[in-house]
Amino acid sequence: MSKNYQDERVIGARVSDSWHYRGMKTVILENQFIKLHIIADKGADISSFIHKPTDTEMMFKTPWGVRNPSLSTPSTGDPESVWLDYYEGGWQTVVPHGGYPTKYYGADYGIHGDVNNIPWDTKILIDTHDLCKVEFTGRSMRSPFEIQRIISLKSNETFIEIEQEVKNYGEEDLDIVWLEHIAIGGSFLNEKCTLTVPNCTILTHPTDADKSSKLKPNFSGNWPFVDMKDGNRSDFRKIPGKSDRSLDMAYFTDLSEGWYSVTNNELGLSWAVEFPKDIFKYIWYWRNFGGSYGYPFYGRSYNAGLEPCTSWHNDGVKEAQNNGTALPVKAGEYISAKMKAGIILGNTTDQNKNPFINRT
């Protein structure tokens, strides 16, 4: 399809790849209920996911916003800051390395790898009133992996469907960590929100994530209660406000089903994600509630990162190999996963119900 003659309808599902934001090709996907900005030239990141009837932004936005990696040079080669310098919030697909810096089969990898600061190809597959589908394809610079991501939106839905494929073009078997780095925030997240996950085990990071960390390190227990360092217990169903001034990392595993939801009880809206739990056996819970001091947030951040992942914990591929949770991908083969993500109207706090199946 030539973008010069693309249908510019104003009703139903619609998609356009004719936009640029801060010099980067950006795809806009929308219907009457939701609108997404997908930065094709930066990892195909979903930088914005808006519920249009209430003008509610679901995605976390960093204080500095979207930066174009091609317009500046990092002041140092520090393996953490190169990714963080250009982190705008929102949703990133992270392959083949999720977590802190490591060596990956001889290649230096910074935090969360290399595919989020490079351009991805785009191709509009379907563009009709009832259904739009757009394909994004990116290739890691330091590993032989290609990621294909097809995002679909129907005219009458408040969520997207995603089909993803990760292929190993190398001629050797390789282990990966595949992380869907979803950070919720914007005008949606506040202390009136509640978190719902299926029955699961909660793990906390073996060490403090920050000087403001409050959770007891190396804890393991059943949902929803977690021991804290001060001897109290935290109810993970409750989202703290920014005044909590804490930063912690926790992980959910042994999930009875593959989904989670966050409900804003004031707005009557829920953010929900469904994923295959045989691939994503963990949910990383990045609890950034105003306590991330020093670079890069300096106390300015408030978000809940709820991130389906193949592995634990966030020390990267090496640690995942050591603890047996790295995902092997044989030479020339691929792995695939289908997801749903978006907005559910009403309350989804009944943990026995998948919100995508039990919508009213």
Residue 312 contacts residue 325 (beta carbons within 8 Å): yes
- Tell me how far CA of residue 91 lies from CA of 36, 216, 225, 292, in angstroms: 11, 28, 27, 19
Q: Is the pLDDT of residue 21 over 90?
A: yes
Max CA pair span of the chain: 64
Instruction: Supply 250's token pair.
Output: 């926790």
Q: What is the mean pLDDT of residues 308-313?
A: 96
Question: Predicted confidence band at 78 (pLDDT cuts at 50, 70, 90)?
Answer: confident
Residues of the chain with pLDDT > 70, as a percent, come to 98
Q: What is the mean pLDDT of residues 36-48?
A: 98
Q: What is the mean pLDDT of residues 43-56?
A: 98
Of the candidates 256, 310, 303, the residue with the CA atom closest to the CA atom of residue 282: 310
pLDDT tens digits along 160-218: 999 999 999 999 999 999 999 999 999 999 999 999 999 999 999 999 999 999 999 99
Question: Predicted confidence band at 95 (pLDDT cuts at 50, 70, 90)?
Answer: very high
Length of the chain: 360
Q: Is the pLDDT of residue 132 over 70?
A: yes
Question: Predicted confidence band at 334 (pLDDT cuts at 50, 70, 90)?
Answer: very high
Q: What is the mean pLDDT of residues 83-101?
A: 96
Q: Is the pLDDT of residue 144 over 60?
A: yes
Name 93's Cβ contacts closer than 8 Å, sequence gap at least 6: 43, 44, 115, 116, 147, 149, 164, 179, 180, 181
Q: How many CA atoms lie within 13 A of 231 on its CB side?
A: 0
Q: What is the mean pLDDT of residues 83-88?
A: 96
For residue 343, the model assigns a pLDDT of 97
Between CA 334 and CA 145 the distance in angstroms is 9
Residue 55 contacts residue 43 (beta carbons within 8 Å): no
pLDDT tens digits along 8-20: 888 999 999 999 9
pTM check: above 0.85: yes
Instruction: Supply 185's token pair.
Output: 């925030």
Question: Which residue ranges make up each domain of the chain?
Answer: 9-345
Q: What is the mean pLDDT of residues 219-242?
A: 98
The H-or-E segment that residue 319 falls in is helix 317-323
Residue 201 contacts residue 222 (beta carbons within 8 Å): yes
- What's the chain's average pLDDT? 95
Residues of the chain with pLDDT > 90, as a percent, come to 91
Question: Predicted confidence band at 358 (pLDDT cuts at 50, 70, 90)?
Answer: low
- Tell me how far CA of residue 123 lies from CA of 15, 135, 299, in angstroms: 11, 5, 39
For residue 359, the model assigns a pLDDT of 59
Nearest 5°: the CA angle 172, 173, 176 is 125
The hierarchical CATH code for the domain 9-345 is: 2.70.98.10
